[in-house]
Structure 1
Amino acid sequence: MPEVQDIFVKYGTSYRKNHKLPLHISKAMSSIQDCRTSALGGHVEVCEECGTTDISYNSCRNRHCPKCQTLTKERWIHQQKSNLLNVKYFHVVFTIPDALNSIAFQNQKIVYDILFKAAAETLTELALDKKYLGATLGFTSILHTWGQNLMHHPHIHCIIPGGGLNNLGKWVHSRKKFFMPVKVLSRKFRGKFLYYFKKANLEFHGQQRYLSDPLDFNAFLTPLYQKEWVVYCKSPFKDAAGIVEYLGRYTHRVAISNRRILSLENGQIRFKWRDYRDNSKWKVMTISAEEFIRRFLIHILPPRFMKIRHYGFLGNRNKATKLKVCKELTHTPTIPEAIISTIQLIQRITGKDISKCRCCGSDKLSRYSYFGKSPPAISQIA
């Protein structure tokens, strides 16, 4: 089965010649192309008992690389287990209209920050209203910028415990369904987003250049105030156990996983995608390699941009105090965060103990790192 890396190796050079790429996108592309190849160096493991030798290449560790997210995801999930409460959880998604997508792409950091801010303030302010909950929430927000067809589709996933802390320091449970109507969420979010969007220092290029005129910009925004924005809440989780794996599905996902790519032939890429507009049916899409690369690179985030953010009593300022109180009030057992090694994580994922020889099972392994395209000869290691 072909991978994103294979597509970059075969067609990346010609794509770079035909398109001028920003430095951070070019670097991400190079990292994915070189991941787990001799270009990044590697290490040699020699069993002192039977002499078995294994050569492994280094990972690129780029957050957009399909190969490098499994281990990072598992480590993040392990760290988050200590933050879970003994309550049900809700999953809420905030989406902006398609008409804003091209502007968002031209102003990624600004618009993505507005998306986070508008969603967070919407949830926080409505939850404080006694009409709905009357308490302070704690939640995690995750940015995704793609749809199943790899087109640009910015949206925020929010994972929210079912309740919060009120002014008296007591825990207030939410209703069985989400604690506020989705239509109220949608309209509040729309107002918040457009308020910050109008104040932002945006740039307009290409077909969007006409929006530099304030009159045209206001005329462009007017229909968006009348449109119902898509905000929806999925069914709640009954306990914290189910949310752990669910979190991992969203936190470290990249635009497309390698397992969805079906073939790479004659410059054409075939991949599976789920059509949510047609009862979530799985379909197959065929596009050119150049178009595939273009769509994939759309989703390379700006440098140092935080795609996972925590709010309320899950924020860094409150975790040491308010989260502790929330655990006591929700009868959540306090589990100290155990340090887990990379070897333990790999064993959990694959079922293999890489600290032992694959042939004789001995744990007497000598490991040698090297840099450069060729590993040293065994005689040189000895």
Structure 2
Amino acid sequence: MRPALEVADIFRQSGAIFRQAHAEAISRAQRRVMSAIELCRTAALGAHLEQCDACGHQRISYDSCRNRHCPKCQSLARAQWLERRHAELLPRVEYFHVVFTLPESIAALAYQNKRVLYDILFRASAETLRTIAADPKHLGAEIGFLTILHTWGQNLLHHPHVHCVVPGGGISPDGERWIACRPGFFLPVRVLSRLFRRLFLDELCRAFDAGMLRFHGQLEPLHDARAFAAWLAPAARSEWVVYAKPPFGGAEHVLDYLGRYTHRVAISNNRLLAFDGRSVQFRWKDYRHESRQRCMTLTADQFIRRFLLHVLPDGFKRIRSYGWLANCHRADKLATCRRLLGVEAPAASPAEPGEDYRDRYQRLTGKSLRDCPVCGKGHMHRIEDMPGSLPRAPPGHHHAR
């Protein structure tokens, strides 16, 4: 069921004014995201006419933009990704959720250097987990895990952090044993936090020395090496937030969790409450006060600006795999894990011959896109294509005006 209010409605009504007011500040990537969301499921991108084989009801289905920042275009991509991950889960193994967060001062620099600092965030958090897990004082094993980048908080402000989903155990150094962690406990958070801070700051300093960082606005004085070192000093002394949540209940709960987190955008349409052309109201959870549900009101300009804070650089991978889940040796290492655990690989659900996106969506989610909305008995069949006014790009690319 279509929400009463969508991010696209706000962009269509206030996007032109926002572009004029911030013409010098909006990047090309942000402009493309705005255009994609505005045009998503409109005649501009094309459509097709469908007809029910039972009652004859006809409807026009507009094509989607397929942009990864669009709130309406993630459900099939999420379902397909989860299908692939299902085959990688290990039964009888606890899974843990570890979150690495950047301090507020570093986050300000990250916004001006997204590709460089987000890459460092991925590498430093991954190396922290692998190093501590390999230490015999803690686990003494090679681990594998998934890492997912989120750049927002519930209030849409810039809050870069990564969520890591980690099996509670790994392969022994000789490759002949599965070493499980203690029940309910993975790795010490304080040890993770201190190493993460050191690794991240070391890489950040190397990026500065290599001239890879850009400084604008209030951060412009940090071009000077002494000023940069003085600015970093408080972050080097503070405690960085690394949070380890309680273990998941089992492999099924891991998939449920991943389904909620992997293909999220900054805000979903169902959190929007009202838009009067000038201001936007939306729900948010206040995690500082026991996750209370609150209502926030922003001007349309503020809302669009906050949404665009989270547009990623083109081609940037926000979901990555490490250790024995890394792409280069995932199949062999997973086979070793299953052999050591004495478990079988799960059977893959076969794709049907001639399966299109609607069949695939129903197979993966159990929800039908074919059912007739009028009689509920028949199925909708495509009877005519209606090309749009804009050329279509292949899946995964962005649409521009």
TM bin, normalised by shorter chain, reads over 0.9
| 1:8 is aligned to 2:11 | yes
Structure 1 segment 35-74 matched on structure 2, within 5 A: 35-47=40-52, 50-74=55-79
| 1:293 is aligned to 2:304 | yes
Match of 2:186 among 179, 185, 200: 179
Unaligned runs of 5+ in 2: 391-401
| 1:206 is aligned to 2:217 | yes
Contact 1:355/1:365, CA 8 A, preserved across alignment = no
| 1:249 is aligned to 2:260 | yes
| 1:107 is aligned to 2:118 | no
Match of 2:347 among 336, 358, 364: 336
Task: Quote the residue 1:378 is aligned against.
Answer: none
1:279 partner amino acid: E
Contact 2:95/2:168, CA 8 A, preserved across alignment = yes
Counting aligned pairs with the same residue, the percent is 46
1:3 partner amino acid: E
2:35 partner amino acid: S
Q: State the distance in 1 between where 2:37 and 2:369 align.
A: 26
Q: Name the SS of the counterpart of 2:293 in structure 1.
A: strand
2:186 partner amino acid: F
Task: Quote the residue 2:395 is aligned against.
Answer: none
Match of 1:133 among 136, 139, 156: 139
Q: Name the SS of the counterpart of 2:296 in structure 1.
A: strand
| Residue 46 of structure 1, CA deviation | 3.0
Q: What CA RMSD, in Å, does the superposition of the two structures yield over aligned residues?
A: 1.9
Q: Name the SS of the counterpart of 1:236 in structure 2.
A: coil
Task: Quote the residue 2:361 is aligned against.
Answer: 346
- Alignment TM-score, normalising by the size of structure 2: 0.89
2:149 partner amino acid: L
| 1:165 is aligned to 2:181 | no
Pair 49,260 (structure 1): closer, same or farther in 2 beyond 3 Å: closer
Contact 1:91/1:159, CA 8 A, preserved across alignment = yes
Number of residues of Structure 1 aligned to a counterpart in Structure 2: 374
2:248 partner amino acid: F
Q: State the distance in 1 between where 2:54 and 2:102 align.
A: 60
1:197 partner amino acid: L
Contact 2:79/2:361, CA 8 A, preserved across alignment = no
Q: State the distance in 2 between where 1:206 and 1:274 align.
A: 31
Q: Name the SS of the counterpart of 2:149 in structure 1.
A: strand
Task: Quote the residue 1:279 is aligned against.
Answer: 290
1:184 partner amino acid: V
- Alignment TM-score, normalising by the size of structure 1: 0.93
Q: Name the SS of the counterpart of 2:226 in structure 1.
A: helix
| 1:142 is aligned to 2:153 | no
Q: State the distance in 1 between where 2:52 and 2:249 align.
A: 48
Task: Quote the residue 2:394 is aligned against.
Answer: none
| Residue 311 of structure 1, CA deviation | 0.6
Q: Deviations over 1:202-248 (max 9, x none)?
A: 11011100100100000011111110000010000131111001011
Unaligned runs of 5+ in 1: 375-382
Q: State the distance in 1 between where 2:150 and 2:282 align.
A: 19
Pair 78,68 (structure 1): closer, same or farther in 2 beyond 3 Å: same
Match of 2:34 among 25, 29, 33: 29
Q: Name the SS of the counterpart of 1:131 in structure 2.
A: coil
Contact 1:46/1:52, CA 8 A, preserved across alignment = yes
